[in-house]
Amino acid sequence: MSEATFTFRVDEALKSEFSNAAKSRDRSAAQLLRDFMRDFVRQQQEAAEHDAWFRRQVQVGLDSANAGNLIPSAEVEAKFASKRAATLRRLEPSAK
């Protein structure tokens, strides 16, 4: 992999504090900056992948609804009322 120089301005006090903090971790400031850059790029890629996945899932739902694959709200309410009742029964203290 070819290397390139990345130059930017930073307050002298911040540069000094950052260099000292890096040394306390047995790292150079440049090593830490490269690590931070890699982490940032990875986070951006993961966010973009998640966004693409989420958009696909939403589209699947929309396509399904548009095709008429719907569940009546009364059926959903009844199913979850039953689940809530079962959960409440499990949470009730046992009669001994």
Q: Digits of tens for pLDDT over the chain (96 positions)? A: 789 999 999 999 999 999 999 999 999 999 999 999 999 999 999 999 999 999 999 999 999 999 999 999 999 999 999 999 999 999 998 744
State whether the Cα torsion 28-39-9-15 is positive or negative.
negative
Residue 2 in domain: no
Residue 79 in domain: yes
In the structure encoding, which two tokens stand for residue 4, read together? Answer: 């390139």
The parent domain of residue 75 ranges over 12-91
CA atoms within 13 A on the CB side of 70: 8
Per the structure, the count of domains in the chain is 1
In sequence order, the 6+-apart residues with CB closer than 8 A to the CB of 29 are 15, 18, 19, 22
Residue 96 in domain: no
Residue 4 in domain: no
Q: What is the pTM of this model?
A: 0.68
